[in-house]
Amino acid sequence: MEISLATFLAAVAAMSAPVILAALGETLTEKAGVVNLSLDGAILLSAMAGFVVATSSASLPLGFAASALTGSLVAAVLAIIGVSLHQSQVAAGFALTFLCRDLAYFLGHPYARQQGPQLTTLPLPGLADLPFIGEVLFSHSLVVYASFLAIPCCLLFLHRSRWGLMLRCAGENPEACWARGIDPNRVRFAAVVAGGALVGLAGGAFSLAVKPGWGQPQGCEGIGWIALALVIFGGWKPLRVALGAYLFAALQLLGIHFQDAFPTVPAQIFQVAPFPLMIFTLILIHASRRRRGRLNRLLAGNAPKWLGRAYRRS
Amino acid sequence: MLELTNIEKRFGRLQALRGVCVSAREGTIHGLIGENGAGKSTLMKVLTGFVHMTGGEIRLRGNRVHPGGPRDAMALGIGMLYQEPLDFPQLSVLENFIAGQAAYAPTAARQRLARLAQDFSFHLRADDLVGDLTVGERQQLELLRLIDGGASVLILDEPTTGISAQQQEVLFAALRRLKATGATVLLVSHKLEEIDLLCDEVTVLRHGQVVARRSRPFDRDDLLQAMFDRLPEREGAAPKAATGPALLVFDRACAGSGRAALSGLSLTISGGEIVGLAGIDGSGQNTFLKLAGGLLEPTSGETRLEGEHSGAPRRPTLGVDTVYLPADRLAEGLFPQLSLREHHLLASPGRALLTPSAGLEETSRAIAVHGIKGEAQQPVQDLSGGNQQRLLLSLIPEKTRLILMENPTRGLDVHSARSTWKLLRRRLADQGAAIVFASPDLDEVMREASRILVFAANRVVLDIPAGEASSHILSRAITGQVDAPIAP
């Protein structure tokens, strides 16, 4: 099977859109010092909620709103336990991810295999006709455009806004935040809920656009864990997190094509290859921590100092 | 005018501040001095709203104020420079400068930062990472941030600990400048030299109470007297200095960084010695202990135990011939939920399978010998502090030659403290071991040590046999005044 480079890249962009939304949501959450492990379940639950609402109301915007809201609500539960009540974020996240998963399949059961609305591609007038770029960037659905926009927005928010600065401060040193009159736990709560909304949108992006429909198993299972790994892979930097998502999608697609090109190699190798590659990259990142130089600096990632730790004022 | 009247603060059963009154005028530098635990830090935390007072009132320019938290304090123009820089190391200088400000205007802030830095002759580059700066520079940044935020009352908590002499000069110049512009500066310090150089007035705290107020010119001996008061001179003879063989050698050793740094250590500790480390908390005593235990590599020079190869890299020798007893016994020294018996089993290796009665006999013997009030099968978290300490002592192996202790009688009542020292002395007599201990209690150092090292400004400033030490000499050394040359 021969495909053009442009088609391949366009497929990568389309496939990675929800992953990018989820991973950026988790980046915001973790930059504020909170680990939200409920991602995988939250994506599934919001995919279900989005599909059900969109089907019942025959309105795609309502469907997306429902998935964002669902993502925020799941995140708010985590924030209450992990931020306000100072309990283990890891335990709460794990419990939530499995709870959400089961809840999604249970509540979504009546809607399984139903025909629902789905987002169609919306080639941007004028831009879509550009050679190469038009096909790669401007012939997608709104979800993909949103994922493109989310990257610079996330960057600008974190590095060029007061709220973004406060968010990073809360993840770095909550005590110093407090000394400056910022309540770190409020900032964290807000960051977790906002990040949750992005994660919820990722769920909606699956059930309403990328892998439309609802059923068991939904195609988005496992994506939450990938998104979590991408945040670390990306060194908590939005741009690198997004690049990681593209790389991952490219590897998965290549796997499919390589299966045809190398029929003697078991298909499973290409299917799982992205995962060991991720681990290999993490080792690279670790190795570059102590050295200087441009490449190493590019690879270096600094976890927020207070990541995963609850802050309780002494 | 900043007036603190009858400030009271209680933490549970502990009365940390008792009717403290301090008043400081605009355009002055007001010193706040006192020994460890005198209540200086608590008082400052009350001012910044970090802790809430249980009684008294604060007036600023005549108005009664209630700082409910740092945000309120900032709005009132009260800013504090904490002892450990309270900033964001992974963020840039500029980001640190604007974090917490109501408006987000990086370009304007960059200009203000540059102007302020120039005014105060600080060399700060807006785009540097704060984590790459020295403690002194981080402090300068914090100071500028507070001034930029409109602070008119500035509190500095031990600002010169861990910064270089040049940075100290720059800081002092900055403080004088602030004074000239009409700010009220509160300087928490234990260094009388600084007080002399900078302060117009001084309030001395002891045990949570104001014991003296003085204005310029200060009489240092008078201030010392007020700070330490009735430091009882030793009753009876000083413990004899040891004559055993050399055990631990420090050869021009430097270690640690920033505030915990130590430099230029050259001394030898011999068997039979009890070395007491005195000084204000965090003047390098803990770095010394860690260096002695091999828990910390010297950054230059070397430390070696007798019998070790000179120059060979030193591996932590804990558990073999060196024992380190941390101050926070339950958190760092013991496993709270394991029983006394299990602790003894852990301490005696060579047993693969454990029967329910294994180690019971040794544990019972240790309980009897060390007078531990507890059962062999009881979790150690149920023991009282004194019994925990006796358990730790009972776990020290026979062949230990060096016992290092951080505040050995912390949280112990008088009786437990005495029994601890009795056990330690017995140990010393039996084995010819050396004991090195740090204690914030000068009394204890004078009573128990045979040799005293005084730490100040990241160095050992005084090294004398206990017989020659007096509370006067020690308290002078602790506050940074040494007239006797340092013993070789």
Is residue B178 scored above 90 in pLDDT?
Answer: yes
> Where does residue A285 rank: exposed (0-12), middle (13-18), buried (19+ CB within 10 A)?
middle
A307 in Cβ contact with A35 (< 8 Å): yes
* pLDDT recorded at residue B203: 94
Q: Identify the closest residue of chain A to B102 by CA–CA distance.
A: A162
Task: Name the least confident of B79-93, B123-137, B384-398.
Answer: B384-398
| Residue in A309, A212, A279 with CA at minimum distance from that of residue A14 | A212
Q: Identify the closest residue of chain B to A302 by CA–CA distance.
A: B90
* pLDDT recorded at residue B487: 46
Is beta strand B28-33 parallel, antiparallel or unpaired with respect to B184-188?
parallel
Q: What is the DSSP string of A83-99?
A: IIS---HHHHHHHHHHH
- Pairwise CB contact (< 8 Å): B74 & A180: yes
Instruction: Give B-chain residues touching A181 at CB under 8 angstroms.
Output: 69-71, 74-75, 100
Confidence tier at B446 by pLDDT (50, 70, 90): confident
Residues B202-213: pLDDT tens digits? 999 988 889 989
Nearest CB to B90 within list A177, A179, A305: A305
3-state secondary structure of A36: coil
Q: Using beta carbons and an 8 Å cutoff, which residues of A are at the interface with B? A: 160-162, 165-166, 168-169, 172-173, 175-182, 302, 304-305
> Comparing A219 with B365, which gets the higher pLDDT?
B365
Closest CA of chain B from A286, distance in Å: 17
Nearest CB to B88 within list A160, A161, A169: A169
Is residue B233 scored above 70 in pLDDT?
Answer: no
Of all residues in chain B, what percent carry a pLDDT higher than 70?
Answer: 91
B88 in Cβ contact with A169 (< 8 Å): yes
- Pairwise CB contact (< 8 Å): A182 & B82: no
Closest CA of chain A from B159, distance in Å: 17
Residues A148-197: pLDDT tens digits? 999 999 999 999 999 999 999 999 999 999 988 899 999 999 999 999 99
**How many Cβ contacts (< 8 angstroms) between chains A and B?**
59
Q: How many CB atoms lie within 10 A of CB A174?
A: 25
Closest CA of chain A from B128, distance in Å: 15
> Comparing B261 with B146, which gets the higher pLDDT?
B146
Whole-number Å distance between alpha carbons of B65 and B72: 9
Task: Name the least confident of A93-107, B122-136, B250-264.
Answer: B250-264
Is residue B488 scored above 50 in pLDDT?
Answer: no
Q: What is the pTM of this model?
A: 0.77
Of all residues in chain A, what percent carry a pLDDT higher than 90?
Answer: 62
* pLDDT recorded at residue B239: 60
* pLDDT recorded at residue A290: 60
Residues B271-318: pLDDT tens digits? 888 899 988 777 888 888 888 888 888 888 888 777 655 555 555 555
Mean pLDDT across B411-431 = 77
| Structure tokens, B61 | 């320019």
Mean pLDDT across B170-177 = 93
Nearest CB to B99 within list A161, A180, A302: A180
Token pair 């450990």 in the structure block, residue: B84
For residue B87, give the amino acid letter.
D
| Structure tokens, B162 | 């861990």
Confidence tier at A92 by pLDDT (50, 70, 90): very high
Is residue B350 scored above 90 in pLDDT?
Answer: no
Mean pLDDT across B420-446 = 82
Task: Name the least confident of A260-274, B172-186, B315-329, B340-354.
Answer: B315-329
User: Cα B452 to the chain's mean position, in Å?
Assistant: 17
A220 in Cβ contact with A203 (< 8 Å): yes
Q: Which of A31-35, B271-275, B438-442, B461-465 has the highest mean pLDDT?
A: A31-35
Domain chopping of chain A, boundaries:
5-219
> Comparing B88 with B224, which gets the higher pLDDT?
B88
| Residue in B116, B108, B136, B110 with CA at minimum distance from that of residue B177 | B116
| Structure tokens, A149 | 């926009």
Is residue B232 scored above 60 in pLDDT?
Answer: no
Is residue A213 scored above 60 in pLDDT?
Answer: yes
- Per-residue three-class SS string for chain B: CEEEEEEEEEECCEEEEEEEEEEECCCEEEEEECCCCCCHHHHHHHHHCCCCCCEEEEEECCEEECCCCHHHHHHCCEEEECCCCCCCCCCEHHHHHHCCCCCCCHHHHHHHHHHHHHHCCCCCCCCCEHHHCCHHHHHHHHHHHHHHCCCCEEEEECCCCCCCHHHHHHHHHHHHHHHHCCCEEEEECCCHHHHHHHCCEEEEEECCEEEEEEECCCCHHHHHHHHHCCCCCCCCCCCCCCCCCEEEEEEEEEECCHHHCEEEEEEEEECCCEEEEECCCCCCHHHHHHHHCCCCCCCEEEEEECCCCCCCCCCCCECCCEEEECCCHHHHHCCCCCEHHHHHHHHCCCCCCCCCCCCHHHHHHHHHHHCCCCCCCCEHHHCCHHHHHHHHHHCCCCCCCEEEEECCCCCCCHHHHHHHHHHHHHHHHHHCCEEEEECCCHHHHHHHCCEEEEEECCEEEEEEEHHHCCHHHHHHHHCCCCCCCCCC
Q: Which of A246-260, B73-87, B224-238 has the highest mean pLDDT?
A: B73-87
| Residue in B173, B184, B182 with CA at minimum distance from that of residue B120 | B173
Residues A230-239: pLDDT tens digits? 998 888 999 9
Nearest CB to B91 within list A160, A172, A181: A172
Is residue B10 scored above 60 in pLDDT?
Answer: yes
Nearest CB to A178 within list B70, B90, B103: B70
Mean pLDDT across B182-208 = 89
Q: Identify the closest residue of chain A to B48 by CA–CA distance.
A: A179
Mean pLDDT of chain B, nearest integer: 84
Mean pLDDT across B72-85 = 89
- Pairwise CB contact (< 8 Å): B82 & A179: yes
Closest CA of chain B from A68, distance in Å: 28
- Partnered with residue B436 across adjacent β-strands are B275, B404
Mean pLDDT across B343-349 = 81
Mean pLDDT across B345-354 = 76
Mutate to test the interface with B, among A30, A166, A172, A307 (most CBs of B within 10 A): A172
Instruction: Give B-chain residues touching A168 at CB under 8 angstroms.
Output: 88, 91, 95
* pLDDT recorded at residue B313: 52
**Phi, psi torsion values for A179, nearest 5 degrees:** -65, -20
Is residue B134 scored above 70 in pLDDT?
Answer: yes
| Residue in B326, B395, B405 with CA at minimum distance from that of residue B362 | B395
Mean pLDDT of chain A, nearest integer: 89
* pLDDT recorded at residue A193: 98
